[in-house]
Every structure is written in structure tokens, then in C-alpha cells.
């Protein structure tokens, strides 16, 4: 097992149609407004930006993300990442039965490149996974509240 590699998968149920969720998720520069653990996103051009993340652990992660796939019809947003984390992340949005909202699947495969996290790879792994889970919980709550506050036009 490579202790510096991670695979994450989260499923969020959101009370908004997939198009509305996609419209929010495709604007990564606005994530810090509703996702507390995404501290900063700075666009570099129309396909690339830098981001700073920090969850419960007192440590910031910095990545450069580059759009690999933006497909509103399929409900897919995917980025390649480099920096403290190297790999990819993808959102896949599908409508829930009966128009009951959206199933948002988040998948991520990364290798930790941060020297400190690599040094702490074995003893820190459970903490790093728990830290990520807290970040995702904060994101789900923040996005749900943001969607409630800004409902899509009828």
C-alpha cells in the first residue's frame, strides 16, 4: 500500500435540480463563499486556478487545478490537480427520481506531495482521512444552505 495515495468518494443529496447545482459547482472561484474549508480560490485563466484548503488540522494545502472536463449535459466537472496534492477530482450530478433533487457524487484520487504530510503518512493517515471527511461535511452543508438561499429561477 502506498500510504501517500488517497481515494475519496462522497455522495451528497441536494434539494435542487442538477442544473442549479452544476451552475454553483462550476464557479470554483466562489467556493469560499459557501464552503468554509476552501479558504481561497484564485483564477489564473479560464481553465486554471489555484486553491488553498484547510479543514480541522492546522495545515493549509495548496493546489493548482486545471479543468479537464466541463460537461453540463452529462453533469460532470473534472479537474487535474498539482501541488500539495497531485491527481484529479470529479463531480458527477444526476437527478433524483421524481425530480426530488440531485445526487452529487464527488470522487478524488490524489497522491500527497506535501513534504510534511508525506513524512507523517503512516501515523497521520487516519487523521488526514477524518480531516477530509469533515471538509466534505462542511461543503455539503454549505452548498445546501447556499442553494436554499439562492433558489434557481422557476
Number of helices (H), then strands (E), in the chain: 4, 7
Report pLDDT digits (tens) over 11-69. 999 999 999 999 999 999 999 999 999 999 999 999 999 999 999 999 999 999 999 99
> Would 104 be classed as within a structural domain?
yes
> Would 50 be classed as within a structural domain?
yes
Q: How confident is the prediction for the chain on average, in pLDDT? A: 95
Alpha helices in 35-112 (DSSP H): none
- Compute the distance between CA of residue 50 and CA of residue 105 in angstroms, rounded to an integer: 23
- Residue 97: pLDDT over 60: yes
Q: How many domains does the chain have?
A: 1
- Residue 114: pLDDT over 70: yes
> Would 43 be classed as within a structural domain?
yes
> Would 138 be classed as within a structural domain?
yes
User: Where in the sequence is the domain holding 120, given as residue range(s)?
Assistant: 5-149
> Would 18 be classed as within a structural domain?
yes
Q: How confident is the model at residue 1 (pLDDT cuts 50, 70, 90)?
A: confident
Q: DSSP readout, 96-131?
A: PGGG--EEEEEEEEEEE--HHHHHTHHHHHHHHHHH
- Please report the pLDDT score of residue 43 as a whole number: 97
Q: How confident is the model at residue 150 (pLDDT cuts 50, 70, 90)?
A: confident
- Please report the pLDDT score of residue 99 as a whole number: 87
Q: What is the average per-residue pLDDT within 132-150? A: 96
- Please report the pLDDT score of residue 135 as a whole number: 97
Three cell numbers written together for 143:
452548498
Three cell numbers written together for 29:
472561484
Alpha helices in the chain (DSSP H): 18-25, 31-34, 115-119, 121-149
> Would 154 be classed as within a structural domain?
no
- Please report the pLDDT score of residue 72 as a whole number: 97
> Would 79 be classed as within a structural domain?
yes
Sheet containing strand 76-83, edge to edge, reads: 5-14, 102-112, 85-95, 76-83, 61-71, 48-53, 38-43
- Residue 104: pLDDT over 90: yes
- Compute the distance between CA of residue 125 and CA of residue 36 in angstroms, rounded to an integer: 22
pTM, 2 dp: 0.94
Three cell numbers written together for 3:
500510504
CATH number of the domain where residue 29 is located: 3.30.530.20
> Would 142 be classed as within a structural domain?
yes
- Residue 153: pLDDT over 80: no
What's the DSSP call for residue 152?
P
Query: β-pairing, 48-53 with 61-71?
Result: antiparallel
Amino acid at each position: 500500500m502506498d500510504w501517500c495515495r488517497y481515494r475519496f468518494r462522497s455522495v451528497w443529496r441536494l434539494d435542487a435540480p442538477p442544473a442549479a447545482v452544476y451552475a454553483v459547482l462550476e464557479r470554483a472561484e466562489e467556493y469560499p463563499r459557501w464552503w468554509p474549508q476552501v479558504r481561497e480560490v484564485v483564477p489564473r485563466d479560464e481553465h486554471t486556478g489555484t486553491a488553498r484548503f484547510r479543514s480541522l488540522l492546522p495545515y493549509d494545502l495548496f493546489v493548482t487545478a486545471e479543468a479537464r472536463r466541463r460537461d453540463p449535459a452529462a453533469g460532470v466537472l473534472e479537474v487535474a490537480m498539482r501541488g500539495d496534492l497531485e491527481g484529479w477530482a470529479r463531480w458527477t450530478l444526476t437527478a433524483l427520481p421524481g425530480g426530488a433533487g440531485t445526487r452529487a457524487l464527488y470522487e478524488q484520487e490524489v497522491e500527497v506531495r506535501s513534504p510534511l504530510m508525506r513524512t507523517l503518512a503512516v501515523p497521520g493517515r487516519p487523521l488526514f482521512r477524518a480531516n477530509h471527511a469533515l471538509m466534505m461535511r462542511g461543503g455539503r452543508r454549505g452548498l445546501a444552505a447556499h442553494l436554499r438561499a439562492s433558489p434557481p429561477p422557476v
